[in-house]
A and B are shown apart, each in its own frame.
Chain A
Amino acid sequence: MNTPRKPLQPRRSSAAENGAREAWVERAVALLDESARNLDAATLSRLNRARQTALAPRRRPRQAWLVGGSLAAAALALVIGVGLGHRVSSPTASPADAAGQDEIDALVGDDNPDLYENLEFYAWLNAQQQDGNG
């Protein structure tokens, strides 16, 4: 089956420079175009991968910028977090903050007076439970 043929349109050459081209050359060019147009899907996929691989180094600077930006943002967040934490525990904190910190210290601190005052009671209670179990 004959396919319609398109004459070659040279990109750079003038018609005068090329001269009259023989018909069989025109047909040869059309056949070559046809062969390039009809490449199978697997080959086209590999060409696409080859192109992406070749272009990858040009895309890396943009990706590097993104990674660098993310790291900088994370570092900034860390600095802000540490700064806020330091501010909470610093002596220049506001009275409200200081009161809250005292309550926490009272609950979890080592010097809980109630625990110390009832220490003998807790020891007796523990001994009773062990006797009951034994």
Chain B
Amino acid sequence: MLAGSIFMSGLDRMPDAPATPTDESPAIERFLRDVERRALRMAEFATGSREEGLDLVQDAMLGFVRNYAAKPSAEWSPLFWRVLDSRINDWHRRQRVRGRWLGWFERAAEDDEHDDPIATAPDPGEPGPLARLADSEAGVALEAALRALPLRQRQAFLLRLWEGLDVADTAAAMRCSEGSVKTHLSRALANLRNTLEKHR
């Protein structure tokens, strides 16, 4: 009962999804089916590769089922995203180590302390950077802008605004304070807006 109600928003957002859960499906399978596509896209944004993304999602599913399946279903969502976030962080850490050894550098800087969210705050009356783009162009521009974001900003944007977690659950998923979530999100919005402005 509870599981069905908390998964409803994801299904509402994807009414055409063919993988409609059945009543016979165990609740945990329905939950994973509900989040798996968004999880893949999130992992794909983080890694830049569908293969790597699929590996991370499978790993996250395994870890989530092994460690948290016995928890109340109302707690599953932040726990699942926490496991996936942890896998994504591990992946980035491995890439950094590998990059250090091979002399490569990561595309996106992790430290974004120099951003000033107030200076880049949007004008509320303005239609926004995606307003004049067709969906296909806007989709490509958005993906490029998301991939260019620092990891923590991207995770804050995706978990908070796409997945719809509240600040507390986003903080739990990202293992940081609620204040950090707000800061990361604010910077993510400013950076996305600035990047997308170039596509107008």
Give A residues with C-beta under 8 Å from B.
Answer: 1-3, 6, 8-13, 17, 20-25, 27-29, 31-37, 39, 43-44, 46-48, 50-51, 53-55, 57-58
Contacts and interface: CB of A to CB of B under 8 A. Distances in A.
B139 A31 contact: yes
A24 B124 CA distance: 11
Given A25-B161, A32-B162, A39 B37 contact: yes
B28 A58 contact: yes
B144 interface: no
A55 B128 contact: no
A25 B130 CA distance: 9
B12 interface: yes
B3 interface: no
Contacts of B192: 28
B58 A37 contact: no
B65 A10 contact: no
B142 A47 contact: no
A54 B58 contact: yes
Contacts of B54: 43, 46-47, 50
Contact of A51 (B14, B16, B36): B36
B37 A10 contact: no
A50 B58 contact: yes
Contacts of B41: 32, 35-36
Contacts of A22: 122, 124, 128
State the majority secondary structure of interface residues on A: helix
A75 B158 CA distance: 57
Given A22-B122, A57-B66, A36 B164 contact: no
B129 A24 contact: yes
Contacts of B26: 55, 58
Contacts of A11: 6, 9-10, 77, 163-165
Contacts of B32: 51, 54-55
Nearest to B36: A47
Minimum-distance CB pairs A-B, first 4: A24-B128, A54-B61, A50-B58, A10-B164
A38 to B, nearest CB: 9
Contacts of B14: 33, 36-37
A9 B161 CA distance: 10
Contact of B164 (A12, A37, A47): A12
Contact of A53 (B33, B62, B134, B135): B62
